[in-house]
Amino acid sequence: MDVVIFPGSFDPFTNGHKDIVRRASQFSRTVVIAVMSNSGKEELRTIDQRIEIIKTYDLPKNVRIVSGVGKTTAQVAVENDAEAIVKGVRDTKDFEYEKTQALINLDILGLETIFLTTNSYISSSLVRELIKYRMDQWRGLVDLGSINLIEKYYD
């Protein structure tokens, strides 16, 4: 596969996200991380700040990061010639939500969604909660190189 897109709000990007990117990079020539807005979530940081955090991660060489500000996943996928969308799922709740999105993207764009399962409990919401309550355990859920920026933007 030439290009896959990994869309998300990544508020902030976590080791769970990094694992999905690493695995997708093994079967695709290019993985595009699309940092998106999500009207269903309260976003604490700007897209530019979230991209800055992602750039601190040691990601495979075949990864690009793009802004999806003011765009849908479908628009970003078309702009980047994506052949598929990659989504990580932790549990059945994630899968049920993502399945609906996958069917919409298949119907609108003809783009398949590739689900990569993870046994990780890590989520951006968990990281934000731990930071909010001043629990240092969040540091183990993100890349060491991103800690200073996350402290700057979320603390």
Residue numbers annotated as active site = 17, 41, 90, 124
Which residues does 132 contact at the CB level (< 8 Å), separation at least 6? none
DSSP string over 13-59: --HHHHHHHHHHTTT-SEEEEEE---TTS---S-HHHHHHHHTTS--
Q: Which helix (H) or strand (E) holds 154?
A: helix 147-154
Per DSSP, the three-state class of 99 is helix
What would the two tokens of residue 19 be? 């694992």
